[in-house]
Structure 1
Amino acid sequence: MPVSAMLRAPMALAGKLGVKKAAILYSDEPFPAGLADGGRAQAAKNGIEVVLYEKYPKGQKDFSTLLQKAKAAGADALVPTSYEGDLISMTRQMKQLDINFPYTFMVYASTPQFQAIGADSNYIFSHTNYHPAINWKVNAGLTREQFAKAYDTLFPKAEFPPDFQTALTYGAGALTEEIIRKAGATDAAALKQASMDLSDKVTVMAGPYAIDETGKQLQMPFPVVQLLPGKGMVPVYPEDVAVEKAVYPAPAWNKR
């Protein structure tokens, strides 16, 4: 899936829940900037006004001013598109400042590293394609269950369990194997043709594979999850994979 579409589901859910205004924050790095730009476009498609769209320098540690600006702008949703370290700092600073948003979406909140902060992560939305409730009909490579067992065998002392990044990495490898097998060669022209021929015909652990004529990924959707007390990471959107209803608005910090 292109970065421009990665926030499609989170913004669609936000619109369905009643979010009217969003604040998008991003670090001055290519991937977070691309996510932010795509998020702004997806917000517009769902009738959500972006009341704050702000970049900050890589390495920034104090987000209090940005968070206060987002709150003052009347944002119902906070969507920072940065990496785990920044997101952890933002979450802790929101609690310290008693700033709460009804809807907070963080791409990397689904990682074990982020969830290690404990109860402060509750009610935050994220996304993943690696969860016991998300099982595609795989026809290339290992299924999620098979992969989980193999991962535990190969990495018994791993500090953290697999997450969506692990699934994407393995899925890319399994797909590449299928493309090479189909091409019967490794030259660029043969691989390109095989990639097109396999479009919409292969599903790996990370999801279905389909590309347009430029090679842009059209499938491999990321369901939205929410971190809920006592339940951990729970799929809440779209409906065909949801196991719980989204909790919205998020309760105030002193009521959690």
Structure 2
Amino acid sequence: MRPLALALLTLTIPLAAQSNISNALLEETIIHSGTAGQFESAQKDYCAAVVKGGAPACLIFSTATFGQSDRYFTVLPFASFIHYDQGKYTDKGLTPEEAKALSARRVPPIASNHESAIALHRDLSTLPTASNAEYPTSYFTEYRLRPGTSAAFLKAVHDFMLPAARKANLIEFEVFTTTVGESPDRILIVTRLKNFAQLDQPDPIESNMSVGQRTAWHSVAKELTQHRDTWIMRYRADLSTDPRSPAAR
């Protein structure tokens, strides 16, 4: 199974975007070792170009630690899929000559690249109370579910995890599903870390469940989950372009 290069999805859509945007294109990229300088320079220019072409923002994340290096997530929020009937952001932000030159810089460092569309479930989430720049480190948990069980899993998230996340006063608890380009049985849950020292503490969500709630949650998760992975990713303000959140640039 291909590991998720997300941490998409902090793959998270920034606070300023979440009032009117729930969809995003998630680009998961692995680059060849030793090519980070070339890739990052080109990807920074790519972000600036797509925002010039009408993208609300272009957010870049890279591995913080405890995971595969040379991994990047690029997140482009979009309002609806009709956008893709109207031409891509790069088509509007670059001339054909500029696009060709940028591609010549971006493509050689890339070992693999995968695009998918993800959707934020606002009714299952507590939206961020701080910008990506203020809290750039995010903890991503990916659940690969048994086929056809996503509705039951999301109900358990609503019943057990969401109340505990609210009780824990988490800065962020966001739930994403894949809509196109990946398995519909993939669920991504994103929280933010104030610092790595938080990893020394008990899980804040499970700590705010009763014994009965923890037992019920563990039972559902065990029954419905085929595989679970975690990542820690950092938001790259130095590479991203987000005109709606000046503090995050």
State the structure with more CA Rg: 1
Higher RCO (CA < 8 A, seq sep 6+) = 2
Global fold match (TM > 0.5): no
More helix by share: 1
TM-score, normalisation: structure 1: 0.26
